[in-house]
Amino acid sequence: PANYDRKSHGEMALMDALVNSYNQATVKVGLNVGVANVIRKISQLGIEAQVPAVPATLLGAVELTPVEVTQIYQSLAAGGYSAPLRAVTAVQTPHGELLSRYPLRLMPLDNRGAVGVLNFALTRVVEEGTARGLPAMLGKDTVIAGKTGTTNERRDSWFVGYTRNRVAAA
């Protein structure tokens, strides 16, 4: 695949490839890890959709809803614990009395140490990479982690980001 800037950058640190969204490095790492292993990890992050076992999947060429993408990043934001997203977490009376609360099921992911490293890398995406304009728009000194994505000719563009207690996909 081509990189967004249409240049090949040769060998580089994995962190730099992620921060700058270099497609060639991403695909090379994904093929070395194995597409099937990447898909297995996506499933462990809470995705039930059928993900095709093709190299294009490594670049995000997967049909997922914003809620499904948010589910993946929720697991990262929670430090390696996956909890199914819910639209309703509790029911209260008009006076605020709790009638019912849905239980929170946290499921630890394998290799949570790797999630910490990934979280650090995704904060660098926001601080100095493809999402570096975001902090100025928010006007806060909040630590934000996230990832951008853009298809050919900018037909589709997206951003998924998170703080310690919020996750958003656009």
Give the three-state DSSP class for 28: helix
Mean pLDDT of the 33-50 span: 90
Instruction: Please report how many Cα atoms fall inside a 13 Å half-sphere around the Cα of residue 140, on the Cβ side.
Output: 5
With a cut of 90, say whether residue 87 has pLDDT above it: no
Is-contact 109 75, C-beta < 8 A?
Answer: yes
Task: Output the pLDDT for position 152.
Answer: 67
More reliable by pLDDT, 6 or 37 = 37
Burial of 120 (0-12, 13-18, 19+ CB in 10 A): exposed
pLDDT digit string (tens) for 47-73? 888 999 999 999 888 888 889 999 999
**pTM to 2 decimals?**
0.83
Nearest alpha carbon to residue 76 among 168, 141, 170, 157: 168
Question: What's the mean per-residue pLDDT of the chain?
Answer: 89
Task: Output the pLDDT for position 119.
Answer: 94
Residue that is written with structure tokens 């390696």 in the block? 80
The token pair at 42 is 């996506």
pLDDT digit string (tens) for 122-168? 999 999 999 999 888 887 778 999 999 877 666 778 899 999 888 99
Task: Output the pLDDT for position 154.
Answer: 67
Spell out the long-range contacts of 52-58 with Cβ–Cβ below 8 A and sequence spacing 24 or more. Answer: 55/27, 55/30, 55/31, 58/26, 58/27, 58/30, 58/31
With a cut of 90, say whether residue 91 has pLDDT above it: yes
Mean pLDDT of the 98-121 span: 88
Task: Output the pLDDT for position 3.
Answer: 83
Task: Output the pLDDT for position 45.
Answer: 83
Q: How far is CA 69 from the centre of its chain?
A: 7
